[in-house]
Chain A
């Protein structure tokens, strides 16, 4: 099974500042035949289901603000919020869909400093 490890567990960032979340997979999630990384990022606010932010490691879902960006390849990935807004307070998860069992990272809680 592919284990997804996120860091940090939580971070506090001032409004307007950058937030960076890391995600590492125990094996590569890059599928060579199509050169795609099978990695997604989700945002979950209290009492709500998760919301897809990024798929294929760097493709922003429709309607997601462009302050959210994803990067990385192979086993190391990053979600960046370029200018933190109050509405970005949430828990963020990475997920690999390279092979079942699909697996999520443990989550990173983002708060306002």
Chain B
């Protein structure tokens, strides 16, 4: 079964760092475009970052320079390293496959608050 499971959310203080992980099953992460998409409480979807199968990465302006997307091919995992976290980064973070996104994880909640 094709599945994505996000791990690593939690409560973090402003200025702190957090790493989200996404475990994929049923397909190969490195052969696909993989994204992080977030949704702030009561708000719409916001695309965060993508890593292409060839390794190129792109970011939303709101996280550029603070977040880093990566993958571990041997573990079939996707990651999002989040540094210098701000209140406005509070959201449910989804791991998602594809340029049109056909597989979504259930999401993990990140709360940035003092």
Partner of B47, one of A44, A61, A91, A103: A103
A55 sits at the interface (CB 8 A):
yes
If over half of A's interface residues share one DSSP class (helix, strand or loop), that class is named, otherwise mixed; here it is loop
- Cα A93 to Cα B100 in complex, Å, equals 12
Partner of B107, one of A49, A61, A100: A49
Given contacts A49-B107, A93-B45, A107-B44, contact A100 B50 (CB under 8 A): yes
Residues of A bordering B, CB below 8 Å: 1, 38, 40, 42, 44, 49-52, 55-56, 61, 91, 93, 95, 97, 100-107
Residues of B bordering A, CB below 8 Å: 35, 44-47, 50, 58-61, 94, 99-102, 104-107
Known: A49-B104, A56-B100, A107-B44; 6 extra A-B contacts, CB below 8 A, are: A52-B100, A93-B45, A95-B101, A104-B46, A104-B47, A106-B44
